[in-house]
Amino acid sequence: MADVALVSKLPDIPLIIPSTPLRVLSEYHRGSISTTRTSLTESSTQDLDEPLIPLQRARPRANYKLADFIIQRTLGTGSFGRVHLVRSKHNLRFYAIKVLSKDKIVKTKQVEHTNNEKTILEAIQHPFIINLWGAFQDDSNLYMVMDYVPGGELFTLLRRSNRFPDPVAKFYAAEVALALNHLHSLDIIYRDLKPENILLNHDGHIKIADFGFSKRCSSVTWTLCGTPDYLAPEIVGQQRYNKSVDWYALGVLIFEMLSGLPPYHQPDQNTVALYEKISRGPTFIRWPPFQVNATDLILKLMEGDPSRRYGNLRHGAGDVFAHPWFSEVDWVKLKSREISAPYLPKISGDGDASAFEKYPEDNATALYGRPAPDPWGSFFPHFEHTAVHGTC
């Protein structure tokens, strides 16, 4: 392990952040996809798994209800609902609540993914992964109460900076690698790594959010899900795959951080053309002038054959940690957040949400907690039915 911590040098490296309006940035947000192939269902994958030891809760059970919070504003929107900044009426702290429409989840066949998100998140305690404090439901929606991460998305910082200098990309990549290693040690595949899902805390360290596609799996699985730019060739090729798809995605992330765009990006490219390029592999692309070690690690992570991919070899994540591109990283100090982050979000106070883009506040919040027919409640047994009726 290196004596000199990476990143003791990092704060000297200026990040050039032009003041691009956030609304423009949001147009480039990439949607995640999820399709469970009909011939091979999720349940068939269970048969291939060795039995898994049930996950333990990382925090004591907390019972929340809508009336415990005052909703402040929207922080983000997703396929099934919104994430709001809220304030607890009891301890006056700020939290983020993700609200998901049960109807939309059922209609898009995401019930299992949503239940996975909740059970997995409540079992994880890691410095670089979002904390889930509790979850509940009312007649129409599911609610997940998380720590509020005020620094915004790494995506926003990257688009505003155009690209990151090598040591900055290395800092974020190293924190992501630690988080992935932790997830994999619990047999969890994350499956949606991208800058949009990496949030920055007040101290500039990362918090990975959005576990909507994460899954416990000790061996292989089949579901086509993730974000097209970040899909490993075996997912695109509809083959079975394992947690090494997360290491592949780390390779794409490093490429995107260093160059500003993902490896196979082309404006107005359709998904079929993108998938063809992913299948052919990164040696066919024109490489920007990265440092030799960076290129080498990206190629080892984006290896098309999972049995030869870094992170999936005999030494597992150890090979990634020991790669020369990471040679300056003091992994122990990094994990304990003793290393200063390269960029400190400008946050004026506890509930400051200026790092997030502004979303029109529709009147959906007025409907939260309202009595309604509830045909889907039993599909979500881990979300307690505790919501009060009426406004919050």
Minimum CB distance to ligand ATP, residue 29 (Å): 7
Give CA angle at 130 (123, 50), nearest 5°.
35
CB neighbour class for 34 (10 Å; exposed up to 12, middle 13-18, buried from 19): middle
The region that residue 109 occupies, defined by phi over 0 for left and psi between -120 and 50 for alpha, beta otherwise, is: left
Task: Annotate 245-259 with b (16+ C-beta within 10 A) or e (fewer).
Answer: bbbbbbbbbbbbbbb
Closer Cβ to ligand ATP, 98 or 309, answer by number: 98
Q: Token pair for residue 223?
A: 């579901």
| Stretch (H or E) spanning 96 | strand 94-101
Give the contacts of 74 (CB within 8 A, at least 6 positions apart).
Answer: 82, 83, 84, 85, 359, 361
Residue nearest to ligand ATP (CB): 78
Residues near ligand ATP (CB under 6 A) are 32, 75-76, 78-80, 83, 96, 98, 130, 146-149, 153, 196-197, 199, 209-210, 212, 356
- Closer residue to ligand ATP (CB): 77 or 291: 77
The least distance separating ligand ATP from the CB of residue 244, rounded to whole angstroms, comes to 22
Strand ranges across the sheet with 141-147: 69-77, 81-88, 94-101, 141-147, 132-137
98 is in an annotated binding site: yes
Indicate if 166 belongs to the active site: no
The minimum distance between CB 328 and ligand ATP, in angstroms, equals 30
* Nearest CB to ligand ATP, comparing residues 96 and 157: 96
Report the nearest approach of ligand ATP to the CB of residue 148 (Å): 5
Residue 346: name the closest of 186, 150, 164 by CA: 150
C-alpha closest to that of 221 among 246, 197, 194: 246
Which CB atom, from 76 or from 282, has the smaller least distance to ligand ATP? 76
The rounded Cα 386 to chain-centroid distance in angstroms is 28
Tell me whether residue 98 or residue 182 sits nearer to ligand ATP (CB atom): 98
* From 139, 192, 229, 246, the catalytic residue: 192
Place of tokens 């040679």: 327
Residues 127-156 as b/e (b if ≥16 CB within 10 A, e otherwise) read bbbbbbbbbbbbbbbbbbbbbbbbbbbbbb
**How many CB atoms lie under 10 A from the CB of residue 263?**
23
* Residue (147 or 384) nearer to ligand ATP, CB: 147
The catalytic site residues sit at 192
Residue positions forming the annotated binding site for ATP: 98
Residue positions forming the annotated binding site: 98
